[in-house]
Amino acid sequence: MKSILNTYCLILITILLFSCNTVKQNSSGVNTKGEKIIDSLLNSAVKNSEIPGAVVYISRYGKELFHKAYGFRNIGENIPMAKSDIFRMASMTKGLTAVAVLQLCEKGLLSVDDDVSKYIPEFSDLKILTKVLPDSGFESVPCKGKITIRELLTHTSGIGYGFQDDNYNALVIKNNISEGFEDDDRTSLENIQRIARLPLLFKPGEKYLYGLSYDVLGVVIEQISGMRFDQYIKKNILDPLEMKESFFVIPENEQYRLVAPYQPATGGTGLEPTSYPDTKYPLIMTRRYFSGGADLCSTAEDYSRFLQMMLNKGIYNGKRVLGSEYVEMMLSKQTPFETGPSDQGFAAWVTNEKGAAEGPMPKGSYGFGGFWDTYGWVDPSNDFTAVLLLQMYPTNIHKIHEKFRTVTYRILNEIKPVI
């Protein structure tokens, strides 16, 4: 009996010694080597004043692997970044808007091939722009087509963004149209009615042009649901996903967590506060206009819940948010256009064979990015999601997101979730 006990003790000691010699993991699940790689990239970027700060969140197999903050929430006030800090997500809102539209489709309340004028009658008399006049008036010709919900979802509606085209911007300014980030008392419907009065830049379905289509979809959601856009998103997406740190208007007692935006310093190296004027919109408690394409604010961990739902084909924590067939629709190629390394779905660009060959994201991976230098992506083949939030405009010139993707895949085979 004594010899058997001695044998068991030797086996136990051997196991413990072997465990001590394996690669160490930190409390979040990334091994020490992997953590140092990410730390090196982002600490160096902060030290070299390439970015003010960042928050990273990585999950695999539905479990948190890595969650860490770097740099500063506010450089001028010397406030360190915290993992729970809130970022302006801008166009990362569009993913939630697409899900909301497909929820209504799933309920039989709309079809993606419906004419948008069915819900917003002002879009029934379409025109195509031929010339912008010196006084910011315009000349146009009648458009025989219609704008469908699908064309709004794929940015093929003919509606643009003013900041991308000086001529079109003259019309946007003259007609007092908001492109998101608004601080006055207009409603979403009032803003979209102004957009409907402008001519289209081309016949719907003719080509791709990133623009205000998702703001129009926000109002479609309002018209069908009878709820304000932000309230619909909260009830039907944020709450089921337990995204308790995501807001369209940040509560007063949480506003200190909003990250200050920066830009590369003019005339030299370093950073300075962004010159972009419209940064206060998340703090305006009386606001009534909510952009379907731009207004969500969130944390890295919270947005990862949305990505995890997408990865789980519409389910989060046992709750179905969207049917799997609609998630598949959202991530399927939706236009006939040649789009290079990724195929255009609804709000998402999905890596195709060409993109996979270019690397590092494998075929079927997809992501969502935003104006303020935020990005998150889903990799179904490796069962993980990753979010890197910066807060800059103009966006940084140092390709931090690209470098982050590269190092994430470098350490992917070494990181394991803590069970």
State the average pLDDT over residues 205-226. 97
Q: Which pLDDT score, from 0 to 100, does residue 370 have?
A: 96
- Give residue 13's pLDDT band: very low, low, confident or very high (50, 70, 90): very low
What is the rounded average pLDDT for all residues in the chain?
A: 91
Numbered ranges of CATH 1.20.58 in the chain: 110-227
- Residue 316: closest CA among 306, 303, 330, 301: 306
Min mean pLDDT across 18-27, 128-137, 331-340 is at 18-27
Q: Which pLDDT score, from 0 to 100, does residue 163 have?
A: 83
The dihedral through the CA atoms of 17, 22, 28, 33 has a sign that is positive
Looking at domain 32-95+230-414, its CATH superfamily turns out to be: DD-peptidase/beta-lactamase superfamily (3.40.710.10)
Taking only the tens place, the pLDDT of each residue in 80-127 is 999 999 999 999 999 999 999 999 999 999 999 999 999 999 999 999
Rounded Cα distance, 66 and 81, in Å: 16
Min mean pLDDT across 260-269, 331-340, 375-384 is at 260-269
Numbered ranges of CATH 3.40.710.10 in the chain: 32-95+230-414
Q: Which pLDDT score, from 0 to 100, does residue 266 have?
A: 87
Give Cβ neighbours of residue 378 (< 8 Å, ≥ 6 apart). 307, 310, 311, 365, 366, 367, 384, 385
- pLDDT at residue 7 above 90? no
Structure token digits, residue 51? 């970015």
Taking only the tens place, the pLDDT of each residue in 355-407 is 999 999 999 999 999 999 999 999 999 999 999 999 999 887 899 999 999 99
Taking only the tens place, the pLDDT of each residue in 14-73 is 333 333 333 344 444 556 788 899 999 999 999 999 999 999 999 999 999 999 999 999
State the average pLDDT over residues 147-152. 98
Quickly name the fold that domain 110-227 has: Methane Monooxygenase Hydroxylase; Chain G, domain 1 (1.20.58)
Q: Which pLDDT score, from 0 to 100, does residue 414 have?
A: 66
State the average pLDDT over residues 184-200. 95
State the average pLDDT over residues 132-156. 96
The answer to whether the predicted template modeling score (pTM) of the entire model surpasses 0.85 is: yes
Q: Which pLDDT score, from 0 to 100, does residue 316 have?
A: 97
> In what helix (H) or strand (E) does residue 54 lie, and over which residues does it extend?
strand 53-60
- What are the backbone dihedrals phi and psi of residue 378, each rounded to the nearest 5 degrees, phi first? -120, 135
Taking only the tens place, the pLDDT of each residue in 273-292 is 999 999 999 999 999 999 99
- Residue 284: closest CA among 248, 245, 232: 248
